[in-house]
Structures are given as C-alpha cells and as structure tokens.
Structure 1
Amino acid sequence: MAVATGLKQEQVVAAAASDNALERLHALLTEDLRQVNALIISRMESPVPLIPQLAGYLIASGGKRLRPLLTLAAARLFGYQGDAHLLIATAVEFIHTATLLHDDVVDESDLRRGRESANSVWGNQASVLVGDFLFSRSFELMVETHSLEVLRILSRASAVIAEGEVLQLITSNDTATVEADYLRVIEGKTAELFAAACEVGAVIAGCDKQACAAMRDYGMALGMAFQIVDDVLDYSAVQAQLGKTVGDDFRAGKITMPILIAIAKGNEEERAFWNRTLERQEQEEGDLDHAIALLRQHDALDGAMDRAREWGERAIAALEHAPESVLKQALADVIAFCIERDY
C-alpha cells in the first residue's frame, strides 16, 4: 500500500479500519487536525468574552471539519512537511464558520446542526459581529503563511462566497429561476470555499500550476455535489429520523435543484402551486407534504442526485494525475461519502 509522505503507519492502519470515508480521512490526518483544533481554540480567544463563547458554540456543534480537512489532505498529498497548512486550514474553518453565522441571520434560521442557531441564542447583532471577527482572524492567519498566493486565493473566495449569497437572495422566491442561475448560486456560496481549500493546500506544498488547478477542480466539483445533496436532504424523510427539520428550504422559498426539476416537469396546476408557496410565500398546512409528493412524482429527488453524481465523476477525474497514496484514495472515497450521506 502506498503511504503519503508525512503519515505514520498507525494512522494508515486506523484509517483502513474505518468503514466511513470521512472517518478514514480524519484518521489519516489525526495529528494535523488535533493541531488545527488547538489553533481554532487559541485564535478565537478575545478579551471580549462573548466572542469565544459564541464562536465556540458553533464551531463545537458537530461540524464535519470537511473544508479544513481538504486543505490538510491536499498539502500532505503532495508531500508537504511544514506547518503553514495548519494556519491555512484554520483560516478556512474560520471563513466557513463566519459564513454560517451570517447565513443564519439572513435566513432567520432558528436551528443549526440540530441545535439552536447562534443568532437565536445571542441575537442577530452579536452573530454578525462575531462572524466579522472570524473573517478578520482568518486574514491574520493567511498573512502568517507569508504566501501572497494563499492570501489571493482565500480573499477572492471570501468575496465570491458573499456574491453567491447575494445572488441567492435575488433568485429566492423566483420560480422563473433556471438551472444555470442555481448552479451559479451554489458555485459561489458553497463550492468556491471547497475549491479554494483544496487549491491552497497544493499551493503551500509548492505544486506547479497544473496540480494546483487540478486540486481546485476537485474541490469545486466536490462542493457542487455536496450542495446539491444538501438540497435533496432538505426534503428527505431521513432528516426527520435524525431529529432534523424537513422543508426549511421550502418554507424559505428557495429554488433548489429538486424544485427546478419538478417545475420543469409539472403541469400548469402544479406551477401555480409552486408560485403560491415559493414565490408568494402563501403556505398552508399540508403544502410541504404536497410539495414532497410532487418531487417524488416527477423523480425530482433522484434526478437531483443524478446531477450530484455527475459532479462527483468530475471530482474523480480531477484526481487522476495526483500521486498515488492512501490520501488520494481517501479523497476519492470522500466524494462517494458526500453524495451518499444521509446528514
């Protein structure tokens, strides 16, 4: 078995023993991730007690740490032996957390990962300001890497994420939205950070432009698949079994891939239903159940999953020329995990 440079044999053994792709990636990067978690705790410290309290509440609430893991994996995949990847992975997690804090305020969300959202506990003002704090901390971490390219990639990603969120505001509640608009939204608000997280790992490892571009392509495709699956899960009965709310996107009037497919296949009466419930936000008891029934009738959930798998195939193709190692296999396995997950 090929072993990626910098990995201990016991980490490889632990990864092989896991039947979960994300757990395998965790096992391969145990020490790196331990150091990133320590950096997260130390860098969100502040003499203003509410800042670490609120930030820590969200960071410790069960997130997958997928984006920083991708940075760590990309760097190690190409044999990186320094510690700047730890700073970058922490910055990536802070950017992600800041966007979640801001998103929950914009979406008026009461729940995040099955718990009360930070804004429902501390209020919108505190959530926005702590999000700003984490963005600022992320830029401090980038500067410490002494890499202008890392700073360029992640600062651009921060801007693109904001553009994606604004574009989503424009397309929400608009049943005339087309698939191209939806893809632009999720490319900005979700996939861009996946892409940047992978690209900066390769950059800090000193890879050539072709390898850096390939890792960016991998992250972009993985992020697109990840968000499409998220949009499918919002209508999944599995969510209810896991104690999570179903239909948040429907209640908010978000136009996602399953909705786009159902609208395209629906008749005039069905389009009138979508216009009333999503565009005019005139929702009644039983509307969510009817929406889910329409999605199933038109195979919209399965159709959206097919789109996610197409993006997964693109992610696999992007890894083709990466060096053979257990990390390369783990990154390939994570694609399937992100698509077939039920949470």
Structure 2
Amino acid sequence: MSETTGLEKAVGAYLDHLAVERGLAANTLASYRRDLRRYLDFLRDAGRAEPTDITEGDVTTFLRSLREGTETYPPLGTSSAARTVVAVRGLHRFLCREGMTVADPAGSVRPPTPPRRLPKAIPLDQVERLLEAASVGDGPRALRDRALLEFLYGCGARISEAVGLDRDDIDLEAGTVLLRGKGSKDRIVPVGSYARDAVEAYTVRGRPVLLEAGKGTPALFLNARGGRLSRQSAWSVLRAAAERAGLAATVSPHTLRHSFATHLLDGGADVRVVQELLGHASVSTTQVYTLVTVEQLREVYAAAHPRAQG
C-alpha cells in the first residue's frame, strides 16, 4: 500500500472540517469528496504531493481539464465544473487559514458562469390538451384540478403561490388575485375568464364538499381530507394530467408559468408588464423569456423565407 501523501492528508482534514465544523449535508459532502478526488488524481499525475507544491497554473490547467476531459475522467458540464472549482477554492482557502500554505493558488480562479437556460414552455394547443385532461368527471377533485391548472396558466403563479392562497385572496367578481411571492412580496394579478370560471365552479360545487372532510380552513385549494393542498400534491395533479394528455416528458412544475410568460410576450406584451405579473424583482430575469421568442422567430424565418438558407 502506498504511503498517504501530505496533500491527501490535507484534503482529508478539509473534508473533516466540512463535516464537523460546517455541518455539511451528507449529499453535499459526498459531492465535495468526489470533486476533490478528481483534483487529487490530477495533481498526482502532475507530480504534486504536498499542498505547497501546487501553483496557480496547476489550478488553471485542472479547470480546463474539467471541460475537456482526460483519459480517466469525462468532461463536465458548466454547472458541475463550477461546483468542482468551488470545492477546490474552498480547499485552498482552508489550507491558507490553517497555515499549511502561505499563498492561495486558487484565489484568482473563478468558476465558469453557467449558461442561461431557456425556460421550457409548451405551445398553446398542448396547454389546452393539458387543461382538458385535468378534469376527469365532475367530482369535487376533478373541479379542483381543473381550477388549479387553469389558475396556474391564467395567472402565471408558482405552484407554491397557488397552494398558499386563501379563499379571500381571490376576488372573482373583480377578476383579481393577491399572490404572495418570494421574499414576502405581494402582487395583484388579473384572473382571466377561463381561470375565473373554473375557480368559480370549484368553489361553488367542489370546495364545499372537500371542506366537509376537514376542520375548516381558509385555504382555497383543498385536499381530500379537507386541509390545504400541498405543493407535492399539486405537482401530482399536474403530472397526472400531463400523463393523460401524453405530455409527461415535457411538463414540469414551472411549465405553465413559463408558458404563461412566453405566450404573453408572443402576443406583444411588454417585458416589464410580464415582469410585474411574474413577480420578478429584476427585469433581467424576465428577459430570459424573450430569448425563447427570438428562437421561435428564427425557426419560423429559417423555414419560411426563400433566402434564409443556401
């Protein structure tokens, strides 16, 4: 058995520090251990055995190897590479703080910026298929499910905002709802006629039946026991409807919210109006959706313009 190097002992001390003093979760700790194992293998191949042997060039070369891959390790995506560099930088800060090294070779190395992922929206015809699949029958839960999904798409609400609603938060006569967003930021959003009709049908014919099974709650959307519908249960409603509509592979908890925003922008809505409706603190967050519409325009142009392609 080969003797443990000073570098391996240093990494072991850092992992102990993360586990004991910082109390990292088991899964996070496992990720750090895996990332630093890759770093150790790289340094061993480079002939580095002690913490003081490592240079900034080593760290930079290691970062490049994360994206390009090696004979031993496959290339990593941007987010995985960024996580690994965070682990490496944390290790070197720890070594400096504990006096095992004088300089920090990773101090000026920054993780790669993850690319902005385009939100996944589905076309209107698929939204309509999903909403139709939500209500199987005319029972109280079917009425609730249709109202829930119509509301999510009609208002662009997060699932957590929908299940957090109380009956008095929605004014069906005025066609508005009070949503409580992230950071306790409230906003008033219009409720479209389809969502309004579905919620009204549920509150008149469905909610009173579900309410009888519980002890009384102000929640708008109720479960079968008469209590507030959970976020997990709401996601199950969406998933079940997606499966019935044949859309299971393309639907996630945020799909209707993304579709709401994308369809508004496709219809000519101003991005700042959509920002307010979504409850985004910054318009730059909302502008990600404009990338979707640009991609759609590019596809249509490429397919329809006679001189778009050679």
TM-score by length of 2: 0.23
Structure with greater helix percent: 1
Q: Which structure would you say has the larger RCO, counting Cα contacts within 8 Å and 6 or more residues apart?
A: 1
